[in-house]
Amino acid sequence: MPTPLIPPFESTDETTFHDTLLLFARNIEDALIDAGAVPGEDYTRLDLFRLAQPYVLERWQSGELRYTKGWKS
């Protein structure tokens, strides 16, 4: 299996915008790889975030998400 552009993460908080964006982008990437796409050739990280935007925006507008108030160092 090719190495994904978005690395796996140990834990997530599905109530934060940051983690939800990563989760959707990573799920989209998994589907692309399963369909035979090659990371870095057939798509970029920015492509993944753009494809994830509508799903995250819907959750944001419904009030399900919040901003992250602290980041890992």
Residues 6+ apart with CB under 8 A from 37: 43
Mean pLDDT, rounded, for 3-16? 90
Residue 52 lies in a domain: yes
Nearest to 64, CA basis, from 13, 16, 11, 12: 16
Say how many domains are in the chain.
1
In this prediction the pTM is 0.86
Q: For the segment 22-53, what is each residue's pLDDT rounded down to a tens digit?
A: 999 999 999 999 999 999 999 999 999 999 99
Residues 16, 35, 50, CA angle at the centre, nearest 5°? Answer: 35
Range of the domain at 29: 17-61
Residue 27 lies in a domain: yes
Q: Calculate what percentage of the chain has a pLDDT beyond 70.
A: 93
In the prediction, which pLDDT does 34 show? 97
Residue 5 lies in a domain: no
Residue 54 lies in a domain: yes
In the prediction, which pLDDT does 1 show? 81
